[in-house]
Amino acid sequence: MIELKNIIKTYRQKDRLVTALNGVSLQVGKGKIFGVIGASGAGKSTLIRCVNLLEKPTSGSVMVDGQDLLQLSASQLAQARRQIGMIFQHFNLLSSRTVFDNIALPLELSNTPKPEIKTRVLDLLTLVGLPEKQHDYPSSLSGGQKQRVAIARTLASNPKVLLCDEATSALDPETTGSILKLLKDINQRLNITILLITHEMNVVKSICDEVGVISNGQLIEQGTVADIFSHPKTELTQKFIASSLEIELPDDFKQRLSEASDSGKHPLIKLEISGRSTDVPVLSEIARVFGIDYNIVSARMEYAGGVKFGIMLIEVHSTGEQTKKVLTFFEDKFIKTQIIGYV
Ligand SMILES: Nc1ncnc2c1ncn2[C@@H]1O[C@H](COP(=O)(O)OP(=O)(O)OP(=O)(O)O)[C@@H](O)[C@H]1O
């Protein structure tokens, strides 16, 4: 549905050229959700804006639903853009129009008859869960409600593709969750292809089928969410994954933690479980095979793209030689280990 080939985009900043995108290629299949994740300034906004030619690439090609957008005339491009909806971090609603009239706007612009507009807007309001807000103005809505209106407005034109430019970045975690659920629902019910950009791995984890990691204007890694979470190749990707899995060491342990394995102290081991890790009950196995007790101090396990991954901190009641054996045992099961200290 979307195919970008070797996109280069340079901007002139005063007397120098800045390369915002440096040879980006990606494909998004029909009905898929593709997330592009990257830090600030990596080129995410430029990338998503190149898909509907809000930014014109310096070179490369942009195909959407089989059409080469850079080859279209102005009127053909306007037509093609109707198939490409977009939602933004700050919603971009018209404050002087009611919710109903905001959603009706694209239909009015395409000369849809009034009775048809009414039915369509009411259907869309139901779809996004806001039927009772039709007469309200945007200023009286919460951030999540505003984004729902923006989603309804963009769906009014029946797009095949939806571009989401940091659509949940201005929202609290709970509202983010509900908007992501709505996007997934729209994707599944209407078979709309979604390309989104974000700086949060949680967004990718919760709704994307595929993910690309962008850094300095280049896609340094891309693949299915399951693949990327199980075999992250670059340090940046590993950092993004870890950032979605932060676990805290309880204060009591922080105070008791020492760097040396003094007598009577036990190693505190961090386990990183990824899609590559063997799915066996490793903890009961170390107890059974080595006769070693353990205590789970903190743990976070999650699923993304059908793959289980997570982080666990365990206090293992082992001595020097036993500890080495336990570490080797975990590593053999493709579980990454690190001794955080001794408690
Ligand atoms: N209109 C512009 N004119 C000049 N330089 C620009 C323009 N837009 C973006 N840039 C530059 O291109 C690079 C990529 O910017 P872009 O906004 O695409 O990154 P981003 O990943 O979306 O960042 P953020 O998450 O902070 O929005 C940056 O160095 C930025 O300064």
pLDDT tens-digit series, residues 41-75: 999 999 999 999 999 999 999 999 999 999 999 99
CATH annotation of 2-243 = 3.40.50.300
CA distance 343 to 339: 11
- For ligand 1, whether the C-beta of 303 sits within 6 Å is no
pTM, to two decimals: 0.85
Neighbours of 32 (CB within 10 A): 17
Q: What is the pLDDT of residues 265-304, one digit of tens each?
A: 899 999 988 777 777 788 999 999 999 999 999 998 888 7
**Nearest Cα to 300, choosing from 343, 256, 248, 253?**
248
- 38 Cα nearest atom in ligand 1: 21
In percent, the amount of the chain with pLDDT more than 90 equals: 76
Mean pLDDT for all residues in the chain: 93
CA distance 28 to 194: 8
- For ligand 1, whether the C-beta of 11 sits within 6 Å is yes
The predicted pLDDT at position 96 comes to: 96
- For ligand 1, whether the C-beta of 198 sits within 6 Å is no
CA separation, residue 155 to residues 207, 243, 342 (Å): 19, 33, 56
Query: Between these two residues, 163 and 228, which has the higher pLDDT value?
Result: 163
For a mutational test of ligand 1's pocket, the pick from 7, 14, 15, 18, i.e. the residue with the most ligand atoms closer than 8 A to its C-beta, is: 18
CATH annotation of 251-342 = 3.30.70.260
Q: What is the pLDDT of residues 80-132, one digit of tens each?
A: 999 999 999 999 999 999 999 999 999 999 999 999 999 999 999 999 999 99
Domains 2-243 and 251-342 share a fold: no
**Nearest Cα to 241, choosing from 254, 257, 227, 252?**
227
Q: Tell me the domain boundaries of the chain.
A: 2-243, 251-342
**Nearest Cα to 204, choosing from 190, 189, 221?**
221
Tell me which DSSP letter residue 111 carries.
T
Q: What is the pLDDT of residues 209-219, one digit of tens each?
A: 999 999 999 99
Distance from the first to the final alpha carbon of the chain: 54
